[in-house]
Amino acid sequence: QVRLVESGGGSVQAGGSLRLSCAASGLTFSTHIMGWFRQAAGKEREFVAAISWNGGVARYADSVKGRFTISRDNAKNTVYLEMNSLKFEDTAVYYCAARKMFLKITPDEYNDWGQGTQVTVST
């Protein structure tokens, strides 16, 4: 079965950086759209970034544009989220997700999910 495992979360001060990774197995990684979502306490899960199967197209939430970068390494079946200039409001559990076909930004349109990794940004 599909397995997505996130890593790289942690605690960081505002202005700092983190790099999240998501290792995928049980799917043909190079044919899947990969997305990052986040869910803060008491809030709904929201889109952060997504990347096409070959890395040629990426989309970002307005709140992270210019600070976060999504990338993928199909040889390693891994997608990354480089997060810079972190803000307190970036604090959340970050999830990676996979879907086939078209790049989408709505959580309901993703089929497979990881267990999440906590990112905590302190002021």
Res. 86: pLDDT tops 90: yes
Q: Which amino acid is at 74?
A: N
106-113: long-range pairs with CB below 8 Å, 24+: 106/47, 107/37, 107/45, 107/46, 107/47, 110/35, 110/37, 111/2, 112/2, 112/4, 112/27, 113/4
8 A C-beta contact, residue 18 and residue 12: yes
pLDDT of residue 97: 98
Interval 12-31 mean pLDDT = 97
pLDDT at 123: 92
**Across 20-41, average pLDDT:** 97
pLDDT number for residue 25: 97
pLDDT per position as a tens digit, 87-120: 999 999 999 999 998 999 999 999 999 999 999 9
pLDDT tens sequence across 46-77: 999 999 999 999 999 999 999 999 999 999 99
Number of other CB atoms surrounding residue 70 within 10 Å: 22
Which residues fall within 8 angstroms of residue 44, CB to CB, at 6 or more apart?
none
Chain centroid to CA 75: 18
Q: In angstroms, rounded to a whole number, what is the distance separating the alpha carbons of residues 21 and 8?
A: 6
